[in-house]
A and B are shown apart, each in its own frame.
Chain A
Amino acid sequence: MTATETPTSEGTRRITTAKAMAEAIALEMRNDPNVFVMGEDVGAYGGIFGSTTDLFAEFGADRVIDTPISETAFIGAGIGAATEGMRPVVELMFIDFYGVCMDQITNHMAKIHYESGGAVKVPMVLMAATGAGYSDAAQHSQSLWGTFAHLPGIKVVAPSNPYDAKGLMASAIRDDNPVLYLFHKGAQGLVWMAKNPRSIAHVPEEAYTVPIGEAAVAKEGSDVTIVTISLSVQHSLDVAEKLEGEGISVEVIDLRSLVPLDTETVLASVAKTGKLLVVDEDYKSYGMTGEIAAIVAETDPTMLSKPMVRLAVPDVPIPYARTMEYGILPTRDKIEAAVRELAS
């Protein structure tokens, strides 16, 4: 089903990120009988955050399977089925729930290929909702991609927009490795949650892929580089467009994948601008912001004409009350202030 010509993100067929994910899954399911979906409320409900919208109607209960609240059992079952050549797409409702099934994820899904000396493949997708911003508090708001990116053996992707959501899902399903696909609730385009207009955008109708491990230059610029991922890309683009009018040219790098990480695109941008802001909705310490900093430092710290800035969740759990939650999230205001400081 590889398209001869990759369709672009330019066009007028506007759908939500959630719908784009579901559309990619449907296209893969039509094409490959080994693909099936399972998770909590993925059936007639369509996924709590819309990731399996309309799949049940088309494919039925045999291929779009509602599970009991038994994450260890059904993620483990996904792993076992994947080792038998199936391509399961398994949803963990919130990434925060990893605590009840982490052994299957890290000791099994991530390690079987390595432990087996390459003899056994685990071609499964584990998708999960991430992110804060709607007062769901400490157990339902984390990003956590840094945690999983730290553990060898799992590809980790987090799209920021509908076009990438569809293309990355197709790539994830076709990949012979386990892929953790983290979608931000605030970027799904849900009718029941505040959203950035960028969560609804043109998506080509046909199947296409966005390669895992390739960052996108979401906006070109020459004064300051923002490296970020997921919903923070939308915020960063908002800031970049605003500052453009004031003569501050911001380049926004959407990493899209944390594993593998596209260091080349990051380094090329930093070499160009000499100024780096890393924005991350995950915790600050030992995470993505530090990793990007280390890559720059290991390559050539003299690329930076000013000390870099890290904007991430200070090392606290996500609080409930709006004032506190937005106090710790990397908001547009904080991104803008950091860019202004770097550009000055």
Chain B
Amino acid sequence: MTELNQLDLYKEMVRIRQFEARVLNEYHADKSPAWDIGAGLIPGEMHLSAGQEPAAVGVCAHLKKGDAITAPHRPHHFALSHGVDMNAMMAEIYGRTTGLCKGKGGHMHLFDPENHFSCSGIIAQGYPVACGHAMAFKRKGTDHVAVAVAGEGAANQGAFHESLNLAALWNLPVVFVIEDNDWAISVPRSASTANTSNADRAAGYGMPGVRVENNDVEAVFEAAGAAIDRARAGEGPSLLEIHTVRLWGHFEGDAQAYRGAELETLDERDPIPAYAAAIGLSDDQVAAIKAEADSEVDAAVRFALDSPVPTADDALLHVFA
């Protein structure tokens, strides 16, 4: 198992947060009118992952080049943590030709074959695709693993259940990750799922299931390490549910009235300052790490803004190979 390095975990969480904070800022900076999500240099729906960094960082710490991730509509934390190039990702979010997908995918449809990373805007539909990555890894005789990520709302989709059965049946090297942020847009977990732990469902498919509480990056690291090692050793799939927190709206522009008083508790549930304190970082260290992340993000925004926008004719390319 990869050795736990607290500073690395912290730095990676900060790197993701500064990326998301910058996207948040730039997304709203030039919206005119402000309510029009289709306006501005970054148009469209925007699902940011602030608060959920421990899930991505704790899992991806164990992944190596060639391992696959299928992520959902909220993909940035897993993408960055898995090594997807920040410049190309930012350029894709800005819809530029230098973007990961030449501006065709946008923030919900990021594809990076070099890092075997993809995401899908359709709930739970990344789970079957991850099984396919795992099938290919196994057939080729590699020890690579596939990680399938989605939210707790996805665990009530047929695709999730079919995939768990298939992966267990065929002993595929897959780790199914559920990020439980308590909310499927506006529907609380309590209104969608009778079982209080999706990890319990793993037993129904003949695989181990673990639920990690408290958005604890080190606990995620430990649990994910065991699951990924198990998959890599050819011992089959596992299910990992991570109780995390969505600090911001489901999408940018979501007023979140449905969260009521919970909104006031969010600051104290932010995992990043909590972890800085837990590992005893000084204010200077925190500031320096943040500045380093900001400088990488600044460069990514500059790269995106300096990149050409696609032409209308470019829309006609790439339907077929």
Q: Which of A75-105 contact B (CB under 8 A)?
A: 75-86, 88, 100, 103-104
Contacts A70-B165, A107-B125 given; does A115 touch B109 at CB 8 Å: yes
Instruction: Give the complex CA separation of A117 and B321 in angstroms.
Output: 10
B102-A118 in contact (CB<8A): yes
Known A-B contacts A76-B131, A83-B133; the reply to A68 vs B169 at CB < 8 A is yes
B102 neighbours in A (Cβ, 8 Å): 117-118
The residue that A86 contacts in the complex, of B121, B136, B158, B318, with Cβ under 8 A, is B136
Whether the pair A76, B159 counts as a contact (CB closer than 8 A) is yes
A47 within 8 A of B: no
Q: Is the CB of B70 within 8 A of A80?
A: yes
Inter-chain CA distance A68–B128, complex, in Å, is: 13
From known contacts A81-B136, A120-B113, A177-B321, infer whether A115 and B104 are also in contact, taking CB-CB under 8 Å: yes
A73 lies within 8 A of B321 (CB): no
Pairwise interchain contact A118-B317, C-beta atoms closer than 8 A:
yes
When distances are taken between beta carbons in the complex, the residues of chain A under 8 Å from B166 are 67-68, 70, 73-74, 77
Task: Name the CB-closest residue of B to A110.
Answer: B319
Q: Which residue of A lies closest to B321 (CB)?
A: A176
- The answer, among A86, A100, A116, A153, for a CB contact under 8 Å with B105, is A116
Sample 20 A-B pairs with CB under 8 A, ordered by A number.
Answer: A72-B163, A73-B127, A75-B128, A76-B131, A76-B159, A76-B163, A80-B128, A80-B131, A82-B132, A83-B133, A84-B136, A104-B128, A114-B319, A116-B318, A117-B102, A119-B101, A120-B111, A152-B319, A153-B319, A153-B320
A83: chain B residues within 8 A (beta carbon): 113, 118, 129, 132-133
A-B contacts besides A80-B136, A104-B159, A118-B102, 16 pairs, CB < 8 Å? A70-B163, A73-B165, A73-B166, A74-B128, A75-B128, A76-B131, A77-B166, A80-B68, A81-B132, A81-B139, A114-B318, A115-B104, A116-B318, A117-B101, A152-B319, A177-B320
User: Is there contact, CB below 8 Å, between A117 and B104?
Assistant: yes
Tell me which residues across on chain B come within 8 A of A116, comparing CB atoms. Answer: 100-101, 104-105, 109, 111, 113, 118, 318
A117/B103 contact (C-beta < 8 A), A77-B166, A84-B136, A153-B319 known: yes
Asked whether, in the complex, the Cβ of B169 is within 8 Å of the Cβ of A77, the reply is no
Pick from A68, A75, A81, A176: contact of B165, CB under 8 Å: A68
With beta carbons under 8 angstroms apart, the residue of B68, B99, B122, B318 that contacts A118 is B318
In the complex, number of A-B residue pairs with CB atoms less than 8 Å apart = 149
CB proximity of B169 to chain A, nearest CB, Å: 7
In the complex, what's the smallest C-beta–C-beta distance from B95 to chain A, in angstroms?
11
B146 — which chain A residues lie within 8 A by C-beta?
Answer: 80
Best-surrounded residue of B128, B136, B139, B166 (most CB of chain A within 10 A): B128
Contact A113–B131 (Cβ < 8 Å): no
- Please name all residues of chain A whose beta carbon is closer than 8 Å to the beta carbon of B158 when the two chains form the complex: 72, 100
Instruction: Choose among B112, B127, B318, B321 the residue with the greatest number of A CB atoms under 10 Å from its CB.
Output: B321
Residues of B within 8 A of A74 (CB): 128, 166
Chain B residues closer than 8 Å to A235, beta-carbon distance: none
Q: Evaluate whether A81 and B135 lie within 8 angstroms (CB atoms) in the complex, with A68-B165, A103-B125 already known.
A: yes
Chain A residues closer than 8 Å to B133, beta-carbon distance: 80-81, 83-84
- A121 an interface residue at 8 Å Cβ cutoff? yes
B120 at the interface (CB under 8 A from A): yes
Cβ of A36 under 8 Å from chain B: yes
Residues of chain A with a CB closer than 8 A to B120's CB = 107-108
Chain A residue numbers with a CB within 8 Å of B320 are 113, 153, 155, 177
The CA-CA distance from A82 to B128 in the complex, in Å, is 12
Residues of B within 8 A of A113 (CB): 318-321
B155 at the interface (CB under 8 A from A): no
Contact of B162 with A by CB under 8 A: yes
Chain B interface size, as a band, is: 35 or more
Please measure, in the bound complex, the distance between the C-alpha atom of A176 and the C-alpha atom of B321, giving whole angstroms: 6
B122 in contact with A103 (CB, 8 Å): yes
Q: How far is the CA of A155 from the CA of B158 in the complex (A)?
A: 27
Residue B10 lies at the interface, judged by CB distance under 8 Å to chain A = no
Q: Are A80 and B101 in contact (CB under 8 A)?
A: no
Verify A86–B139 contact, CB threshold 8 A.
yes
For residue B97, which residue of chain A has the nearest CB? Answer: A117
Q: Report how far A178 CA is from B169 CA in the complex, Å.
A: 26
Question: What A residues does B140 contact at CB under 8 A?
Answer: 84
Please indicate the chain B residues that have their CB under 8 angstroms from the CB of A84 in the complex: 68, 116, 132-133, 136-137, 140
Q: For residue B129, which residue of chain A has the nearest CB?
A: A80
- Using known A-B contacts A70-B165, A76-B125, determine if residue A118 contacts B100 with beta carbons closer than 8 Å: no
* Contact of A117 with B318 at beta-carbon distance under 8 Å, contacts A73-B166, A112-B118 already known: yes
1/0 contact trace for B229-245 toward A, CB 8 Å? 00000000000000000
Looking at A36, A76, A177, the one whose CB has the most chain B CB atoms below 10 A away is: A76
Residues of A54-79 contacting chain B, CB below 8 A:
67-68, 70, 72-79
Residues of chain B within 8 A of A86, CB atoms compared = 135-136, 139
Give which listed residue, A77, A112, A118, contacts B131 with CB less than 8 A: A77
